């Protein structure tokens, strides 16, 4: 770690703000990051020595992640939950892009070797992730259009034009959903690693193809190390409040992937209905202990996630030892 130099990179929608320990730089957040590359990674030696510390920000950090993956640049992907705490510890009361870049840079003083890694870039995985996001978006639109169509059937005024327009959009949305589903299946079958990983996760009762695919992308892109980390990144970890000897678990943190939580919640409802190999007994035991139904379902969703992660890690270890 002595031979490494670090860059704190604050990712915004249009810009990257970088702090190298001495000076703050700003570059356009665009594909290829040519100016960023010319400044910090012109030589091959720079790519080996420099480490990028950044906070993942969904689609905004996609260009940076692609750049680091294709140029084999090591990164520290800082969990967004750590950043506010780091800000408190270092006494940064204000929040600006420049200060955030400096804050991320300061993390190198306590970073462990395990956290420094290379990002894997898989075109099939990225395409699958994009299609899945579109599929979930269109599913929400389909539900809203369908509900509105039902509403139009009950209004006491002429709504023929509205019905025609909504019906047309609903049909087009459903056609697109079917097309995306087919494309996702083709992508999964096309890539042996993705196909095997998804199938292993799908073995868990209550997890269908869609949830298994999302879980696979979630596990692989984040390179999650253990069950504690996977639960936290999904936002299914308990939020604990302590005061003296009192310790109160209030609710789940929700500081994680809300799409994954939503999918797992639906998967838990399915697993609870399974007579064999599901989570029916676990769910019923929680209800008998006085847990509210929603709390019990969330606990089942957390179990599903842990089971899925166990199958994924087991498959990974077997693949590496083969």
Q: What pLDDT, on the 0 to 100 scale, is given for residue 275?
A: 75
Q: What is the pLDDT of residues 161-177, one digit of tens each?
A: 999 999 999 999 999 99
Distance CA 251, CA 236 (A): 9
> What is the CATH class of 5-118?
alpha beta
**Cα–Cα distance between 212 and 305 in angstroms, integer?**
10
Selection from 155, 154, 152 nearest residue 165 by Cα: 152
* pLDDT tens readout for residues 175-197: 999 999 999 999 999 999 999 99
Measured between alpha carbons, how far is 49 from 42 in angstroms, rounded to an integer? 12
pLDDT at 179: 97
* 117-118, strands of its sheet edge to edge: 24-28, 15-19, 5-11, 50-54, 74-77, 117-118
Residue 317: pLDDT over 70: yes
Give the chain's mean pLDDT. Answer: 88
Q: Which of 75-79, 151-155, 181-185, 267-271 has the lowest mean pLDDT?
A: 75-79
pLDDT > 90? residue 228: no
Residue 144: other Cβ atoms inside 10 A = 13
pLDDT at 64: 93
At 15 the three-state DSSP class reads strand
According to DSSP, residue 290 is labeled: T
For the segment 118-141, the average pLDDT, to the nearest whole number, is: 89
Say whether pLDDT at 94 is over 80: no
pLDDT tens, 299-309? 999 999 999 99
For residue 67 the two structure tokens come to 């750049």
CB 150, CB 105: distance < 8 Å:
no
Q: Where in the chain is the domain with CATH 3.30.420?
A: 5-118
| pLDDT over 60 (residue 13) | yes
Q: Is the confidence at residue 29, as pLDDT, over 70? A: yes
For the chain, how many helices (H) and strands (E)? 13, 8
CA neighbours within 13 Å on the CB side: how many for 88?
5
Please report which confidence band the pLDDT of residue 242 belongs to, taking 50, 70 and 90 as the band edges: low
Q: Can you tell me the distance from the alpha carbon of 105 to that of 22, in angstroms, rounded to the nearest whole number? A: 10
| pLDDT recorded at residue 241 | 62
* 123: pLDDT strictly greater than 70: yes
Q: Is 160 helix (H, G, I), strand (E, B) or coil?
A: helix
Q: Look at strands 50-54 and 5-11 and give their pairing.
A: parallel
Does residue 248 have a pLDDT over 70? no
The pLDDT of residue 90 is above 90: no
pLDDT category, 240, cuts 50, 70, 90? low
**What is the C-alpha separation between 252 and 236, in angstroms, rounded?**
5
pLDDT digits (tens, 9 = 90+) for 194-208: 999 999 999 998 899
Binned at pLDDT 50, 70 and 90, residue 134 comes out as very high
pLDDT at 89: 65
Q: Which residue has the higher pLDDT, 240 or 209?
A: 209
Highest-confidence segment of 47-61, 77-91, 144-158: 144-158
Burial of 316 (0-12, 13-18, 19+ CB in 10 A): middle
pLDDT computed for residue 84 by the predictor: 67
End-to-end alpha carbon distance in the chain: 31
Mean pLDDT, range 244-252, rounded to an integer: 63
224 band by pLDDT with thresholds 50, 70 and 90: confident
Question: pLDDT per residue over 30-46, tens digit each?
Answer: 999 999 999 999 888 88
DSSP state, residue 58:
G
User: Residue 296: which of 319, 280, 316 has the closest Cα?
Assistant: 280
The per-residue pLDDT for 54 is 92
Quick check: 261 and 298 in contact, CB under 8 A?
no
What does the alpha-carbon distance between residue 166 and residue 145 come to, in Å, rounded to a whole number? 6
């Amino acid at each position: 770690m002595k031979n490494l130099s670090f860059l704190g990179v604050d990712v915004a929608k249009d810009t990257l703000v970088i702090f190298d320990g001495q000076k703050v730089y700003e570059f356009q957040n665009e594909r290829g990051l040519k100016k960023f590359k010319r400044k910090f990674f012109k030589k091959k030696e720079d790519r080996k020595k420099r480490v990028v510390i950044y906070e993942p920000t969904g689609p905004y950090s996609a260009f940076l992640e692609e750049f680091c993956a294709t140029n084999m640049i090591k990164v520290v992907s800082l969990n967004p939950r750590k950043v506010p705490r780091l800000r408190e510890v270092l006494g940064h009361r204000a929040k600006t892009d420049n200060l955030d870049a400096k804050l991320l840079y300061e993390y190198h003083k306590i970073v462990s070797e395990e956290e420094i890694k290379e990002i894997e870039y898989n075109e099939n995985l990225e395409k699958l992730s994009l299609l899945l996001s579109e599929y979930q978006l269109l599913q929400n639109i389909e539900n809203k259009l369908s509900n509105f169509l039902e509403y139009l059937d009950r209004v006491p005024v002429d709504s023929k034009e509205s019905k025609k327009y909504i019906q047309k959009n609903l049909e087009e949305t459903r056609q697109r959903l079917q097309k995306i589903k087919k494309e996702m299946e083709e992508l999964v079958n096309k890539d042996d690693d993705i196909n095997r990983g998804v199938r292993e996760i799908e073995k868990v009762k209550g997890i269908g193809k869609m949830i298994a695919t999302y879980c696979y992308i979630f596990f692989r892109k984040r390179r999650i190390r253990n069950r504690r980390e996977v639960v936290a990144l999904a936002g299914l970890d308990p939020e604990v409040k302590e005061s003296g000897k009192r310790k109160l678990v209030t609710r789940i943190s929700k500081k994680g992937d809300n799409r994954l939580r939503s999918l797992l919640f639906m998967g838990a409802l399915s697993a609870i209905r399974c007579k064999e190999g599901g989570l029916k007994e676990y769910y019923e035991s929680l209800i008998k202990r006085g847990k509210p139904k929603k709390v019990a379902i969330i606990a089942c969703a957390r179990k599903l996630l842990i089971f899925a992660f166990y199958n994924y890690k087991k498959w990974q270890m077997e693949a590496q030892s083969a």
